[in-house]
Amino acid sequence: MRLLRSTDLALRVLMRLAVAGGSSPTTREVADGMGVPYTHLAKVVAELQHRGLLTARRGRGGGLALTEEGRTASVGAVVRAFEGEGDVVDCEGPVPCPLNSACRLRGALRRAQEAFFASLDSLTVADIAAEPTGALLLGISRRPEDRGSPQS
């Protein structure tokens, strides 16, 4: 199973904000730090904001901040929200699978998918942003000219 790019970005944004302290990086700063297009990250940020996991303020003094709900969010819930709960394989696609009526694989894959999600349910965003990961996350979204020196 491979996560969608938006799921990966959502988790990394939440992790980055979990270690932000008093700073509020902008969406553009986070996008630049992650090396991803601003427009793609902006869509992910909008979805995270819609779900109440972060706040985004525009203008001078604006930026992104993790909410308490975001800090304590289950990683499994975040992954489910972005991945959806659909089947791993598309048995009903444009050309339905001829084994569909008697297939045991579909159920096995569904159970495996749920086991994957369940294994992430006990982890929170704060858990996955803890040390030693936290120190590395601080480098994300710094301006290029600041990367060589420690942040104050």
pTM of the model: 0.81
Mean pLDDT for the stretch of residues 25-49: 93
Under 8 Å CB-to-CB from 118, ≥6 apart: which residues?
76
Q: Which helix (H) or strand (E) holds 57?
A: strand 54-57
Mean pLDDT for the stretch of residues 99-117: 87
What pLDDT does 140 receive?
Answer: 61
- The mean pLDDT value of the chain amounts to 85
Under 8 Å CB-to-CB from 21, ≥6 apart: which residues?
none
What pLDDT does 81 receive?
Answer: 94
| C-alpha dihedral sign at 92, 93, 99, 104 | negative
Lowest pLDDT segment from 7-21, 35-49, 68-82, 93-107: 93-107
Q: In which band, very low, low, confident or very high, does the pLDDT at 141 lie, cut at 50, 70 and 90?
A: very low
What pLDDT does 5 receive?
Answer: 95
- In 3D, which of 117, 115, 88 has the Cα closest to residue 103? 88
